Structures are given as C-alpha cells and as structure tokens.
Chain A
Amino acid sequence: MFELDIALRHMLTNRRGTAFTLLSVAIAVAIIIMSLGMTESVSSQIIENTVDKNPHILVGPKEGESYINMYRSLSSQLRSHPGVSALSPRLVGQGAARFQDNVQSVEFVGVNPGLEDQLMKVQQSAISGDFSQLRFNKRGAFLGSRLAQNLNIREGGDFHLYLKNDSLRLKVMGIMEKGTIKDQTLVYISLDAAQELLGEGDVVTEIGVRLSDYALAPAMAREWNEISQYEATSWQDFSPEIARFVGNQGVTNILFYMFILLISAFVIANTTIMVVSRRKREIGILMAMGARRRSILMIFLLENMLISLPAGALGTALGYAAARAIALLPMNVTSAAAGDGRIAIDPRPEYFALALLFALSLNFISGLYPAYSAASLDPVEAIGSE
C-alpha cells in the first residue's frame, strides 16, 4: 500500500509539521481528559455527598395524615420491590438540644440503627462511637460533628432534647461527620426514644429507601404513588437543583468538547492545508504516475490519522498530569458538600478509549477538507505550481 508508505515517510521527514499537528491534538485531548476527570470527579463528589448520603426515595404518610401507622407491613411491601437495596422507617422531628447554656435547634431522627446504617452508612461517617449501640441504649444519641461543636459537647456527655414541653435526657454515644449541612442539626436516637418523646405511639413519619440505581428513583416513586396512597418522593424532587446539575452536566460537557473539537480541527486543518499547498507539485507528479484521486485523499487522511495515535496517548498523559497538579491545589468545589476541599481526579480507563476516539475523529474531520482539496487538484496546474 504505497499510500501508507508515503504518509509514514512524510510524517517522519516533516518532523516540525508532524510535531505541530501532534501537539495540537495532544493539547486538545489533554484539555478534554483533564476536564473530563475533573467534572466527573466533581459530579461524583456531589452525588456522593448528597444523593449517596440521603435516601433515594422517601415514602411519607397518606394524604391528610401525619404519621405512618402500619410502617412494618409497608416496609415489607417496599422491600419486595426489585431495585430496593435498603430501607429504614424513621421518625423525624424538629426540636432543640441543650447542653449547659448552649442551645441549638435540631432535627432528631428516631431509627432502628441496623436498618438506618444500611440506608445511610452512618457508621462510615462516624468520627467516634458505635452507631449500632443505639439499639441497646434507649437514652443514647449520635450527633452531627458541627452540632456537637456548637453545643460544645463530647462523646459521653449528657444533653437534653426538647420537643415542645417534653424532653429527654440523652447521652452522646458517638459523633459523625457526613460532610453535609446536616452535620449542624442532626441527632440520631433510637426509634423507641423518638416515639416516647413524640407520644403518638408506634408510628414513623417516613420510610427512607435506597435503590441499587439512584437514577431509577423518579420512575419508582411515580409507580408507588400510583399503586398506593402513601406519598413517595424521589431525591430529584427534594433536591431539584442537584438533579438538574447532574442532568445538565452531560450536555454542558458535550458542548464544551464540541468547542474544543472545533478549535483544534481548525488548527489542524490549517496546518494540513499548508502541507497540501507545499506539496502541490508532488501531488501532480503522483497523479502523472497514475495515482488515483482516492489514493491522494488516502495519503493525507492516513497522515492525519497516524498522528492521532501518539497524540491521543501524549494528550492523555498530559491531561492526567495537569489534572493531578490541579488536584493538589486546595479548592472548595462543592461548598459544604466537598469533603476535604480538593478536586479528586477520577482516572477511569474508558477515558483513554474516549481520548483516542476523540483524537482519531478530530484528525479525520480536520484532514477531510484538505485531503479532498488535494485529491481534487488539476494535475497540470499542480505540476506547474511553484
């Protein structure tokens, strides 16, 4: 295949031109890899800090009712649905916590610790204490880290939890940090203690449900609303801005990549047009020797495509290096949701394939017009050109 021979020889002998094109593609790929790694990482941090740390679906009382009475049988029904990975009946209320002279408004959540841990992975967020011990200690509580700080209370300390005129004296059995705003208000207590404080009997206010795929939440919530009288809401309903962010990110990324593709394509096309113009006479001679137009087209396309392989590899390496360098900078990208305030880079293997595909398509698209114009040259004019 003489087209490949010519393309390869040109690449190797025209080192400056090859290096220029290679670098253009590599930079474009690097920008994409870097932004892909970073945006995916920001996105997964947000999901991890919000969606993953909250129930995907909340099932509330029937319309006109304040509590779920038959929560055990409802839990069994919900658990039988495919896609449900965990659920936890909860009694949630707003109250106040007092320790010495410090008073803070709180959201108390009465739970079965075993079920709640499956739903919310509370123990993973624990700074101190054993969350499962709440089950055996009706007067125990797990506090959010910021709340403990504001109350100035430590593990082992006693505080009062008030609900209207009633109160409970509770002991801090552990402190947790979820990395969300809930750390300022959340108090976990046993379901028995919450029911005692509320005084409404064996009831809960909601059942939190975790799904194996959080994206299925809206459809499943809709289905449950249709088949039961209980009100199911998905995380997309109670965190619409996050749902919008996650949904829009794909579109934003595609637009961003299209712009990079366009700019890089123009740079490469310009370089290739210059190469074609410089090699006009040679094209004419090849035609005189009997090379067909499609062979000329192939020579230039091959030349561009061959560059894309090393360019893709170089761009990927550059992109990761740049992303890792940026990751070292302290930047609070997701506000309170960002754990340690740094961008973590997510080096997924599919990014390599994507980068290579991008480089190939970029070089193909940008080489198409110059290659076509080379193939369309009039041999007499091309041979006579200076």
Chain B
Amino acid sequence: MNNRDDDIIVLEDLSKIYGDGVQVRALDGISLRIKAGEFVAIVGPSGSGKSTLLNMIGLLDTPSHGHIILKGIDVSRASPDERARLRNQELGFVFQYHHLIPEFTALENVMMPMLIANKSKAKAHLRAEELLAAVGLGDRLHSRPNQLSGGQNQRVAVARALANDPSIVIGDELTGNLDTKSSQLIYNLLRELNRKINQTFILVTHDMTLAEKTDRILRIVDGKIVCEMKRAGEDFVATDYCERAE
C-alpha cells in the first residue's frame, strides 16, 4: 500500500495478538488510510477491537504485525522515547472520562502537553487561554476539575488534546459519559474545529447518532473492518465489501 501525500496515517495489514498460550487476535490484518482533515468514526460491538485499533493509531500500543505510517514515516517499531515525542507533538487524546489531573486547574491541565514539549510557561499560558476560550471556557480558567461539570471537563480535555496543534485527535467514547445535550455540544465543537482548522479526528463510539455526524464510518467486528461508509451529502454510501459482509 503506497503512501499518498494527503494520507496522514496509513495502517498496513495491522494485527495485534495477545497472550502467549491461548492467543486472542484483537486486530486481524487491518489496512486503512486516513486523510488529513477527515472526521472518522470507528464503531463496533464491545470487544471488537476498536479501542485496540485506536491505541495503535495513538502509538500507545505496538502491533504484533504490520505497519503504522504516520505522515509518511513508519513508526510501528519506533523507540519508546520517539513514540512519546510523537504522542506529544502529533497526537491528541480525549478519553471517555476526561482524565484531567485533579490537582491542576483547567488552564494548567491544558498547559501540560506544552510543558512536556518544553515550551515556555508564558507561551503555554497564552495558548491554553486561547484554547479554553475557543471551547467556551474562557471564564473558567482557574477552576479545578471538581469545580466543573462533566461536559465542561470534557471540553477542557478537548482543549488539552489540541494544545500542541497535533496532526490527529483521537477520541475514545468521548461522549460516553455525558448527557445528550453535553454530547451534542462536544460534537458541535469538534465539528467546528474540523472545519475551521482542518483538524483530523478519529473517534471510537457506541453512539450511532454521533457516528452518523462524521464523514466516514468504519465498522469493526472481531478485529476486522467489515464495513465502511462514506458521507455523500446528507447520506452515507457503503462500500462493496460492506454489502458483502451484510
């Protein structure tokens, strides 16, 4: 599979096998291309391998076989330090639970990835203020996570994920813990960022309502992509192999 210029990430025949004795194949030969600025949803039943796939894309886990090519560079066998650098510079994470550091304020939490990247405190402070204002929390800079609602915390987490201006933002069930109204707000926020700054988003979700608001839906079952649907106007068009699977 050749890398094209507009592919931000390419997965080639990616597999992940757990266990030494009884082996569990969490991912089974997945190949995938995602372009810069795409808004992708990965859906599937529990245990289908969607979170494992996300962890691979996020360089939190290493594949058993296959390749991960990020911006044209094979990073599947990168050293732990190099992977850490790439996670800091190229990737942003938003998890189901906001996972903010409870002892730090919203502002400090957003500053953290920039401080890890050795940026100056002054620069990090300024950028964090801008990002929090962008997610509608300009007036809650100094609030701690326990002083914010679930939706507000998740917005702080989104701002934190964007701190180092990453190539890809990865979300794992990021609205799974929120009410419908907050989920809608978060979705609208991501969509706006996607359109405004051409930010690539890859989201794992159970929520088909949210998935249907993205541009591309990948359905994964037993570690394989069994169906892919692409937006065509208001509707989605399923690929051939998707129809075969169904």
Q: Interface residues, chain A, CB within 8 Å of chain B?
A: 2, 5-6, 9-10, 13-14, 281-282, 285-293, 295, 379-380, 383
* Given known A-B contacts A5-B115, A292-B81, A285 and B99 have beta carbons under 8 A apart: yes
Instruction: Give the docked Cα–Cα distance between A236 and B7 (Å).
Output: 85
- The reply to whether A380 and B55 form a contact with Cβ atoms under 8 Å apart is yes
B17: chain A residues at CB < 8 Å are none
Q: Taking each of B58, B84, B86, B88, which has the highest tally of chain A beta carbons within 10 Å of its own beta carbon? A: B84
17 contacts between A and B (CB under 8 A): A6-B101, A10-B103, A14-B103, A281-B99, A285-B99, A286-B112, A286-B116, A289-B87, A289-B113, A290-B87, A290-B113, A290-B117, A290-B164, A291-B88, A293-B80, A293-B81, A380-B55
* Given known A-B contacts A287-B84, A290-B117, A2 and B112 have beta carbons under 8 A apart: yes
- The reply to whether A291 and B101 form a contact with Cβ atoms under 8 Å apart is no
Report the minimal beta-carbon distance from A328 to chain B, rounded to whole angstroms: 45
Instruction: Give the docked Cα–Cα distance between A288 and B117 (Å).
Output: 13
Report the minimal beta-carbon distance from A383 to chain B, rounded to whole angstroms: 7
Instruction: Give the docked Cα–Cα distance between A293 and B87 (Å).
Output: 13
- The reply to whether B116 and A290 form a contact with Cβ atoms under 8 Å apart is yes
Q: Would you call B85 an interface residue if the criterion is a C-beta within 8 Å of the partner chain's C-beta atoms?
A: yes
Identify which of residues 117-147 in chain B touch chain A, using a CB-to-CB cut-off of 8 Å. Answer: 117
- The reply to whether A289 and B103 form a contact with Cβ atoms under 8 Å apart is no
B164: chain A residues at CB < 8 Å are 290
A5: chain B residues at CB < 8 Å are 115
Q: Would you call B95 an interface residue if the criterion is a C-beta within 8 Å of the partner chain's C-beta atoms?
A: yes
- The reply to whether B115 and A2 form a contact with Cβ atoms under 8 Å apart is yes
Where chain A touches its partner, the secondary structure class is helix
Instruction: Give the docked Cα–Cα distance between A23 and B103 (Å).
Output: 23
Report the minimal beta-carbon distance from B233 to chain A, rounded to whole angstroms: 36
- The reply to whether B101 and A282 form a contact with Cβ atoms under 8 Å apart is yes
Q: Would you call B93 an interface residue if the criterion is a C-beta within 8 Å of the partner chain's C-beta atoms?
A: yes
Q: Would you call B104 an interface residue if the criterion is a C-beta within 8 Å of the partner chain's C-beta atoms?
A: yes
Q: Would you call B61 an interface residue if the criterion is a C-beta within 8 Å of the partner chain's C-beta atoms?
A: yes
A285: chain B residues at CB < 8 Å are 93, 95, 99, 101
Q: Would you call B60 an interface residue if the criterion is a C-beta within 8 Å of the partner chain's C-beta atoms?
A: yes
A282: chain B residues at CB < 8 Å are 99, 101
Q: Output the nearest chain B residue to A285 by Cβ-Cβ distance.
A: B99
A2: chain B residues at CB < 8 Å are 112, 115-116
Instruction: Give the docked Cα–Cα distance between A9 and B93 (Å).
Output: 23
- The reply to whether A292 and B80 form a contact with Cβ atoms under 8 Å apart is yes
Instruction: Give the docked Cα–Cα distance between A292 and B81 (Å).
Output: 6
- The reply to whether B58 and A288 form a contact with Cβ atoms under 8 Å apart is yes
Instruction: Give the docked Cα–Cα distance between A285 and B160 (Å).
Output: 11
- The reply to whether B84 and A292 form a contact with Cβ atoms under 8 Å apart is yes
Instruction: Give the docked Cα–Cα distance between A288 and B84 (Å).
Output: 8
Instruction: Give the docked Cα–Cα distance between A287 and B101 (Å).
Output: 13
Instruction: Give the docked Cα–Cα distance between A6 and B58 (Å).
Output: 24
B115: chain A residues at CB < 8 Å are 2, 5
A291: chain B residues at CB < 8 Å are 84, 88, 116
* Given known A-B contacts A2-B115, A10-B103, A379 and B60 have beta carbons under 8 A apart: yes
Q: Output the nearest chain B residue to A281 by Cβ-Cβ distance.
A: B99
- The reply to whether B99 and A9 form a contact with Cβ atoms under 8 Å apart is no
Pick from B89, B99, B101: contact of A290, CB below 8 A: B89
A289-B116, A383-B99 known; 18 new pairs, CB 8 Å cut-off, are: A2-B115, A6-B101, A13-B102, A285-B99, A286-B116, A287-B87, A288-B58, A289-B87, A289-B93, A289-B160, A290-B116, A290-B117, A290-B164, A292-B80, A292-B81, A293-B84, A380-B55, A380-B61
